[in-house]
Amino acid sequence: MAEVADNRKIAQTKMEAICSRREYCSADIREKLKRYLLSEEVVEEILSSLQRDKYLDDSRYAAAFARDKASLSGWGAKKIEYALRRKGVASEVIKGAIWDMDREKVSERMQEVVLRKWNSLSKEKDSEKRCVKTIKFALGRGYSYDEVSSFVQGLKNSKV
């Protein structure tokens, strides 16, 4: 029984250390705790302890994830939402993180990403194909069709 208690203490100390260095979501930590062969009850106790002591906070994680992916990776809201959902983050938390994103910065980043793709397709002679390829690319990045298509139409009309 002492071995189980030692294993729990080691796991908790290790999780506190990694959570103090960067943000993790509960699902990430749960996955890491599986390596310690702890019972589900002990895993839940450790997760609760980490949350209570502010080492772990899914809202804080989701906000940081959304901010980083939008500004650094050029992702749109849909792709961010999908990625957070795959990580097991609750829907309300995801909505909050998406809602808190700076809309102006996201729009500017979308324009940068789309313009870069548009320019990379400059050898495409058919302007409709160029538009379609650019829009498909932007949709894959998680941007909304309405926002992207109006921006691409503006590019097409301005002959950039």
Structure tokens, 101: 């994103």
Return the closest-CA partner of residue 34 out of 51, 15, 50, 58: 15
Contact 141, 74 (CB under 8 A): yes
Give the pLDDT of residue 5. Answer: 67
Distance CA 89, CA 54 (A): 17
Give the pLDDT of residue 66. Answer: 96
Q: What is the pTM of this model?
A: 0.85
Structure tokens, 124: 């495409």
Distance CA 23, CA 131 (A): 38
Distance CA 48, CA 39 (A): 14
Low-confidence ranges of the chain (pLDDT < 50): none
Give the pLDDT of residue 125. Answer: 87
Q: Give me the half-sphere count of Cα atoms (radius 13 Å) on the Cβ side of residue 92.
A: 0
Return the amino acid letter for 121.
L
**Left, alpha or beta for 76 (phi > 0: left; psi -120 to 50: alpha)?**
beta
Q: What is the third-level CATH fold of 2-56?
A: Arc Repressor Mutant, subunit A (1.10.10)
Structure tokens, 146: 């309405």
